[in-house]
Every structure is written in structure tokens, then in C-alpha cells.
Amino acid sequence: MGVPLPAWPSITFYTDVPVRQVLDHVQSQHFAAVYGTYVNELVDLCKLLNIEIVLDSNL
């Protein structure tokens, strides 16, 4: 005991939609973020992997 915890990398981001709209689709406190728009590529990947696609109407 008494060993300090390491500093974990983190990020602050600001949504362009209400936070509740984002949280309605987040299943845990861990998620990945990328710079850019990859909606079409992610939709294609979901289809290949048979993953349910959930798109917000604002995209």
C-alpha cells in the first residue's frame, strides 16, 4: 500500500450535440475517438462483422 497510481492518459472533448445523445449510445466509460469523419467506413465494417448499426440522425 502507499504506492501512487500512475497518471493515465485522458482527453476532454466537447460534443456538438447534447451530451445525453452521446451517452445514450455509450456502453461503458471506455471508447475510441479518431480525428476525421469515418462514418461510411465504420458502417461498412459493421456490415462485414454483422454488428448492429446505430446512426444518429444528425450524421
Q: What cell was used for 35?
A: 480525428
Q: Specify whether the CB–CB gap between 43 and 36 falls below 8 A.
A: no
In Å, how far are 9, 16, 42, 51 from 48, measured between CA atoms?
31, 29, 10, 8
Q: Specify whether the CB–CB gap between 58 and 24 falls below 8 A.
A: no
- What is the structure's pLDDT at 45? 96
List helix spans (H) across 1-59: 19-23, 39-49
Amino acid at 43: V
- What is the structure's pLDDT at 28? 79
Q: What stretches in the chain show pLDDT beneath 50? A: none
Amino acid at 20: R
